[in-house]
Structure 1
Amino acid sequence: MRNSKITWAVVTGVVVAALAGVGVAVAVNRSSSNNDAAPSTRVTESAPSPSASPSPAPSPGADITGPLDLLLAGVDTRINVPDWEPHADAIMLLHVEPGLKSAYLYSLPRDLRVQVPAFKKSGFPGGKHKITEAMAYGSRVPGKSTKNIANGYELLTKTISNYTGIKTIQAGAILNFGGLDQLVDELGGIDITVDRKVKSRHRQPNGKLRKLVGHDYIGPQAVYLPGKRHLVGWQAIDYARQRYGLPNGDYDRQLHQRTLVKAILDKALSQQLSDPAKLAAVITALGKSLVTLGGRQPAEYAYALRDLTPANITSVQLEGGGVGSGSGYLGEQLNSEARGFLKAVATGKIAAYLKAHPKLVSKG
């Protein structure tokens, strides 16, 4: 039973935290101690015992008590398009409450119009832009065509902190959704409830890519029908990518992406990954999907989040609408209820706020 508990702790740290933003590019066979890492949250210190026999060393991560704010940025790299700059195509945040037994998962619209601060590293002067573009502006390297993803992530986190009022994002991950299908396949596929008919813009029914002609795709489309479905890797990621043709566009896609995260966690929880080879395969699949920044070692988060299960992660849907000048679309802005939720996150009053605004909690 203890081995099973330890295994789930690792899966929690690697899968839960990874998909919600904890740095996990290094595998669990690397040392969990990191004397140079900045603490991810407050540390409780106690005086050493005068006992003659040494006390067992505390488990790495035992000092992490929360709260935590973790970021996942799903990045659209489009490496086949010359001079394309990385954009944050999906922005999800996980707020873990003090005690680390419950959490809230929510998204920010990719087209949210915000003030992006000036950033000396890339020569960006600052200004009002879509939040998806913060990654691109921060990743520029003056005088070079190469891109610095870490700098792009840094500007994105600064932008998010300024907009939300969240002072510190302890750790984060940049995720290429194109690689996440390997993780789903390593888990044997996932079970997900499709809430409405979704037509794929990118894939054929056999999983092959549709042909891109100009700015649109042509040919047969994969279709996801409402109901409980078992999806393999490419289907799960394709379903979570779609926004065109949905009644609420990117807001519906945000919900589907959060549903995907929880479905992956449910599947990981249902499996007894005590087989080192199986667990190593899961880690490898994640490693191919992620570029991670900040935070402490994955084993530390694994221990800290050992009691956090998918059932205790509340999905929150933030709504908004388009803004523009005349007939020109400039982006999205959250409504007052959604902005109130972000203030509740920053001030540690989420439970009370959601009790007063229950419609923000995603159903299913």
Structure 2
Amino acid sequence: MWSGVPRWARVCTVFGAVLMFLSGTVLVGTEVLMARYEGAVGKADLFGDQAAGANGRKSDIKGPLNILLTGIDPRKPETPPLADSIMVLHVPASLDRAYLFSLPRDLYIDIPAFEQAGYRGGKDKLNAAMSYGSRKDGQNPDAAQGFQLLAQTVQQVTGIERFDAGAIINFSGFIRIVDAMGGVTMDIEREVRSEHRRPDGTHRELRRGGGGYLGEQAVYEPGEQHLEGWQALDYVRQRYPKNGVPDGDYGRQRHQQQFVKAMVDQAFSADVVTNPVKLDRVLRAAGQSLIFNGRGHSVVDFGVALKNLRPANIQMIKLPGGGIVENGNYRGERFEPAVADFFTALKNEQLDVFLLEHPQFQNKASGAGSQ
């Protein structure tokens, strides 16, 4: 399904990872499900800890926590992966609330040198960091090794000194998770027309010679809508004004955050939590879609630690920015100056005060059941 398809991964692929962490809370005391859940999760050294000689866990999980989540578009095995979705989940010391923000994949920044891949460093778009870091002489690219350079780059951009956990989520798993839940209901803010799909879910035909697609478009009407897996993924990937998203990629990020809130809220609903068959199906779909590293702790450990975190207590953040154009050519994105103050507030655990003074950073993420 990946081969030859336009970039479906994008930021939306990381939603399954967010669901993964928070769904772990419903497993407390359910040993059979806990074992099946943990066993389904892929493991990898995402931070270079094993190479550095790190052992198992050093202590119980305590806040504040910073968790790096990324989604990749796995194409051919020999093609270096790109981080098409990059999110940070910040959890304060109380562990009962969180802040979720996206970093633009086209953010034009300095990528540090990375000896393991023979990369000397340079300026490029943020999503290229995983690609540069994944390269290995005489072998296929390694996404886990690429994640190491991505994490170092994000740390450099945000001032975060260390990530407490990280995850890579596979695109195809996103559809499986949503369908295992029986679809997700969310509020759609305005009419959005699909660039890539017909109303029955089949792909629109690419016009010969380029210049767009042919055929009837799937349409997502404003108001409360119930979306299947393919519809959810299609909706949150739209980013062009001609398709009903006037603010482009920033609107797409907002729609993606709205959807993750609706999805996580539904994961905590009685329909899922009190239905052991559905719960098992959802958790295993999430687990099979994920590569996780908790730096000595399992994903269930994090689920237990975050047992008091609920969807209504997740604040969606939007980081304002704009495009960089040089000599008429688009180079990428950059943040507005106030974003540096946001990162300082994050480091100093003063985000609540910052958001009171800068309400424009708060995404009004809607979703069924969100508060």
Q: Which residue of 2 aligns with 1:312?
A: 313
| CA positional deviation for 1:328 | 1.3
| Amino acid in the other structure paired with 2:73 | D
| CA positional deviation for 1:12 | 8.8
How do residues 21-32 of structure 1 correspond to structure 2 at under 5 angstroms?
27-28=36-37, 30=39
1:262-304 Cα offsets, whole Å, 9 max, x none, are 1111101113524443322112211332222344212211111
| Amino acid in the other structure paired with 1:37 | G
CA contact (8 A) 2:119 2:133 kept: yes
| Amino acid in the other structure paired with 1:277 | V
| CA positional deviation for 1:193 | 1.3
CA contact (8 A) 2:88 2:102 kept: yes
1:14 aligns to 2:20 (yes or no): yes
1:226 aligns to 2:236 (yes or no): no
1:70 aligns to 2:67 (yes or no): yes
Structure-2 separation of matches of 1:243 and 1:92: 18
CA contact (8 A) 1:66 1:99 kept: yes
RMSD: 2.7
Compute the TM-score of the two structures, normalised by the length of structure 2: 0.80
1:144-198 Cα offsets, whole Å, 9 max, x none, are 4x11000111110000001100011111111223321111111111111112222
| CA positional deviation for 1:72 | 1.4
Corresponding residue to 2:192 among 198, 208, 214: 198
1:106-161 Cα offsets, whole Å, 9 max, x none, are 111110011101111111110011001111111112234x1100011111000000
- What is the aligned length? 322
Structure-2 separation of matches of 1:187 and 1:70: 24
Q: Which residue of 2 aligns with 1:109?
A: 104
Instruction: Report SS of the residue matched to 2:216.
Output: coil
CA contact (8 A) 1:86 1:136 kept: yes
CA contact (8 A) 1:112 1:332 kept: yes
Compute the TM-score of the two structures, normalised by the length of structure 1: 0.81
1:236 aligns to 2:237 (yes or no): no
Instruction: Report SS of the residue matched to 1:121.
Output: helix
Q: Which residue of 2 aligns with 1:99?
A: 94
How do residues 296-335 of structure 1 correspond to structure 2 at under 5 angstroms?
296-335=297-336
Identity %: 43
Q: Kindly tell me: are residues 13 and 175 of structure 1, through their superposed partners in 2, closer, same or farther at Cα, counting changes over 3 Å? A: closer
Larger Rg: 1
Q: Which residue of 2 aligns with 1:48?
A: none
Instruction: Report SS of the residue matched to 1:209.
Output: coil
Q: Kindly tell me: are residues 84 and 211 of structure 1, through their superposed partners in 2, closer, same or farther at Cα, counting changes over 3 Å? A: farther
Structure-1 separation of matches of 2:287 and 2:250: 28
Structure-1 separation of matches of 2:122 and 2:23: 32
Instruction: Report SS of the residue matched to 1:134.
Output: helix
Q: Kindly tell me: are residues 268 and 168 of structure 1, through their superposed partners in 2, closer, same or farther at Cα, counting changes over 3 Å? A: same
Structure-1 separation of matches of 2:103 and 2:74: 19
Instruction: Report SS of the residue matched to 2:268.
Output: helix
Instruction: Report SS of the residue matched to 1:201.
Output: coil
Q: Which residue of 2 aligns with 1:353?
A: 354
Q: Which residue of 1 aligns with 2:51?
A: none
CA contact (8 A) 2:79 2:141 kept: no
Structure-1 separation of matches of 2:349 and 2:321: 23
CA contact (8 A) 1:94 1:105 kept: yes
How do residues 257-268 of structure 1 correspond to structure 2 at under 5 angstroms?
257-268=256-267
Q: Kindly tell me: are residues 248 and 37 of structure 1, through their superposed partners in 2, closer, same or farther at Cα, counting changes over 3 Å? A: farther
Q: Kindly tell me: are residues 345 and 191 of structure 1, through their superposed partners in 2, closer, same or farther at Cα, counting changes over 3 Å? A: same
Structure-2 separation of matches of 1:233 and 1:274: 22
Structure-2 separation of matches of 1:17 and 1:273: 9
| Amino acid in the other structure paired with 1:221 | Q
Q: Kindly tell me: are residues 177 and 339 of structure 1, through their superposed partners in 2, closer, same or farther at Cα, counting changes over 3 Å? A: farther
Instruction: Report SS of the residue matched to 2:128.
Output: helix
Q: Kindly tell me: are residues 218 and 78 of structure 1, through their superposed partners in 2, closer, same or farther at Cα, counting changes over 3 Å? A: farther
Q: Which residue of 1 aligns with 2:6?
A: none
1:87 aligns to 2:82 (yes or no): yes
- Give unpaired runs (5+ residues) of structure 2: 1-16, 25-33, 41-53, 367-371
Instruction: Report SS of the residue matched to 2:330.
Output: strand
CA contact (8 A) 2:21 2:302 kept: no
| CA positional deviation for 1:219 | 2.5
Off by >4 Å, runs of 4+ in structure 1: 213-216
How do residues 160-171 of structure 1 correspond to structure 2 at under 5 angstroms?
160-171=154-165
Q: Kindly tell me: are residues 26 and 287 of structure 1, through their superposed partners in 2, closer, same or farther at Cα, counting changes over 3 Å? A: farther
| Amino acid in the other structure paired with 2:56 | A
Instruction: Report SS of the residue matched to 1:175.
Output: strand
Structure-2 separation of matches of 1:160 and 1:183: 27
Q: Which residue of 1 aligns with 2:130?
A: 135
